[in-house]
Amino acid sequence: MASVAEEDSGPVYDTGYDSALVERLRVGDRDALATLFEQYADRLYNHCFRRLGDYADAEDAVSTVFLTLWRHRRKAQVHDGSAAPWLFGIATNVCRNAERGRRRHLRVVAKAGSVGDLDGPDPAERVTDRLADEQRMRELLAQVRTLSRGEQDVLALVIWSGLSYVDAAAALDIPVGTVRSRLARARARLAGTEGAQR
């Protein structure tokens, strides 16, 4: 599991550097964009994978995240010197939309009666451990989907991606207290689900 930020002091990143990068990004410096990509692409990729349960979709989502942040670069924000909350906020929105689109697609495909053919991974993904990871992640997501959307967002950011409460609050544009309460509700709800399954 990613490092857990039970307290407000989450993982520490090189935040001062982000401030300068975001300043450059705001004025259209593409090198800053490239640097942010190199710095955050892996983390965002894994975050999106944990939201989507599919590595190929996660890759596409990362692409959209960087396209989106470039288009909205003038509104780029840093929180305590870190661009992570802003980036993870965009990623949360992108992945949420991607998930919604995929569900629509699967419904349409299911109606066409060929979901079995289309739901599989592409040839590049036919590697046993990756498939196993995707399967594992989808099982987790099936459990997590018993939570509200907001609770899922908080859980993914704080528990899985290791953001602090403060950063998760900034990413989701909600108060820190809401992060705490959502996480508490998620914990209680999952415990209840687990108990019911026993």
Partner 1 sequence: MNDFENLTPPPERPLTPAQRARLRLRLPRPDEEERGRPWLLPAAAAAAAVAVGVGGAVALARSVDENDGAQRNPGPAASGPAPTATTPAATVTASTDPCAEVTKGETISGAQAQLHAIVTQGPNSCLSSAPPASCAHEVRDQLPGATEVAGNATDGVSFWTSGQRWTLCFHDASVTTVHRVQTLDAPLVGEQRFAFSTDHGDTVAGHMPSTFVAGGPLGGGDSRISYTFPDGHVQEATYVTGSDGSRWWIVQYVARTGVLADPRTNWGQLAPVVARLWGTDVSAPEKTELPWGASGCNQVNHGC
Least distance between partner 1 and beta carbon 16 (Å): 18
Does position 196 bind partner 1 by CB under 8 A? no
At a CB cut-off of 8 Å and minimum separation 6, what does 78 contact? 15, 18, 19, 22, 86
Query: Tokens 């950063």 map to which residue?
Result: 167
Residue type (1 letter), 5: A
- φ, ψ of residue 82 to 5 degrees: the values are -115, 135
Smaller CB separation from partner 1, 15 or 77? 77
Tokens at residue 122, please?
Answer: 């592409």
3-state secondary structure of 175: coil
Which residue is associated with the tokens 């990623």? Answer: 91
For partner 1, the closer CB: 13 or 66: 66
**Which of 21, 25, 32, 155 touches partner 1 by CB under 8 A?**
155
Question: How many Å apart are CA 125 and CA 146, to the nearest integer?
Answer: 28
Per CB under 8 A, contacts with partner 1 among 87-126 are 89-90, 92-98, 100-102, 104-105, 107-109, 112, 117-119, 122-124
27 DSSP 8-state letter: T
DSSP secondary structure, 104-145, as one string: HHHHHHHHHT-HHHHSSPPGGG--HHHHHHHHHHHHHHHHHT
Nearest-approach distance from CB 163 to partner 1, in angstroms = 12
138 contributes a contact to partner 1 by CB under 8 A: no
Smaller CB distance to partner 1: residue 15 or 102?
Answer: 102
Contact between 170 and partner 1 per CB under 8 A: yes
Nearer of residues 20 and 136 to partner 1, judged by Cβ: 136
Contacts with partner 1 in 43-72 (CB under 8 A)? 45-46, 49-50, 54-57, 59-64, 66-72
Please list every residue from 8 through 27 that binds partner 1, using CB under 8 A: none
Do the beta carbons of residue 86 and residue 78 sit within 8 Å? yes
Q: State the nearest-atom distance from the C-beta of 59 to partner 1, in Å.
A: 5
Instruction: Tell me which of 42, 142, 145, 146 binds partner 1, using CB under 8 A.
Output: 42
Residues in the chain, overall count: 198
How many residues of this chain interact with partner 1, rule: CB under 8 A?
92
